[in-house]
Amino acid sequence: MILGPRSDNSEELSLPREITSKARQQQHTPGNMGANLSYEANDLSGKNVIVTGGNAGIGLVTARELAKLGASVTIACRDPTRAQNAVEELSKVGANVQTLPLDLASFESVQTFAKSYGEKHDALHILVLNAGIMALPERKTTKDGLEMQMGTNHFGHFLLTGLLMDRLKAAQGARVVTVASSAHQMASLDLDDLQSEKNYSKWKAYGNSKLANVLFAKELQKRSDANGWKIDAFSVHPGVIGTDLWNHNSGVQGAFLRFGRKFMRDTEEGAKTSLYCAVDRDAEKNKGGYFSDCAPKSGTSATRDDELAAGLWEKSEDICKVKYDA
Ligand SMILES: NC(=O)c1ccc[n+]([C@@H]2O[C@H](COP(=O)([O-])OP(=O)(O)OC[C@H]3O[C@@H](n4cnc5c(N)ncnc54)[C@H](OP(=O)(O)O)[C@@H]3O)[C@@H](O)[C@H]2O)c1
């Protein structure tokens, strides 16, 4: 699809060589991954981008950087005031950013968002499924009765992507980047208990939702290749980043994690692998894969489980009442 100075003029995404090579040089340097990357030579003019949860944390930096490359960026956010504040902040750097309301914990809200977006845009070139919640101490449910972490992090994004499929296909080379986590290592995904009804553990439920993110990208790629959708899908671990995500934890563990935020990487670092997967031509070599530090990584054996990925997809289509190939 998109970007960058290329000799063959083909319609493909690419960050300039200086970005990709520097990212690779620095990818094994914890806390300093690609610290001085430059985006100046890229051009996303005329391209449409959605970043979910683009009002804060990693999503805010992702939205800003893609907008600085010339894209028209829509930040999809649940809180109108926080969303508007982010648009104002991003406008200061001359960014072309709008906001539309999206609460991933409500299928009705996702449907309204997709309809409004579709009315305004013919094509969607980059979809960054970034929004997320982590480790809710008590089991809560979405408006549709789904366990809140799985419902927000996976099912809300699954429905959103499904409803935007015609716009993604229209881009003829779109990218879908799902912000997962190395926390997928804590997962033990039971397709018969996706809502953690039998036994709720806050970290296991988070891990399950993040494994679902990785499996989603893998299966989306498989189906895109089989059906000619021309969509490249990626999942990402952004690193351990000091954001509000850590604030859900209470008690001693919560106090420890909030204190620990000071020592985590910042959001500029946290956005880099999402940006790499959103625009770098080299990322295509490992499309469908799981990335960290701007490089493909192998996740747990569950991330390579074809049967689990297909089973989760079918269950997700049933639960979300959406068909990707309709
Ligand atoms: N930080 C890390 O160390 C880390 C590590 C691995 C993976 N991740 C992943 O990175 C992604 C971004 O997290 P972050 O660290 O940047 O956290 P963050 O600063 O808390 O940002 C999360 C974003 O998601 C939004 N969000 C939450 N629930 C939503 C809902 N129901 N509907 C719409 N938006 C919703 C939040 O909106 P509000 O502002 O309204 O709350 C916020 O914009 C998440 O998927 C997370 O799992 C983060």
Pairing of β 126-129 and β 48-52? parallel
User: Ligand 1: distance of its center to the CA of 227 in Å?
Assistant: 31
Q: Are 20 and 59 in contact (CB under 8 A)?
A: no
Q: Are 24 and 295 in contact (CB under 8 A)?
A: yes
Is the predicted pLDDT of residue 320 greater than 70, yes or no? yes
- Residue 245 Cβ inside 6 Å of ligand 1? The answer reads yes
Q: Are 248 and 255 in contact (CB under 8 A)?
A: no
DSSP state letters, 264-291? SB-HHHHTHHHHHHHH-GGGGGGTT-EE
For residue 37, the model assigns a pLDDT of 44
Is the predicted pLDDT of residue 235 greater than 70, yes or no? yes
- Residue 159 Cβ inside 6 Å of ligand 1? The answer reads no
pTM recorded for the entire structure: 0.90
Residues constituting the chain: 326
For residue 95, the model assigns a pLDDT of 82
| Amino acid identity for residue 242 in this structure | G
| Candidate CATH numbers 1.10.3720.10, 3.40.50.720, 1.25.40.10, 3.90.550.10; the one for domain 17-28+38-320 | 3.40.50.720
- Of 47-51, 176-180, 277-281, 315-319, the poorest mean pLDDT is in 277-281
Q: Are 75 and 55 in contact (CB under 8 A)?
A: yes
Nearest residue to 191 (alpha-carbon basis) of 318, 306, 320, 311: 311
Q: Could you give the CA distance from residue 141 to residue 147 in angstroms, rounded to a whole number?
A: 5
User: Ligand 1: distance of its center to the CA of 105 in Å?
Assistant: 13
pLDDT, tens digit (0-9, with 9 covering 90-100), for 162-187: 999 999 999 999 999 999 999 999 99
- Residue 217 Cβ inside 6 Å of ligand 1? The answer reads no
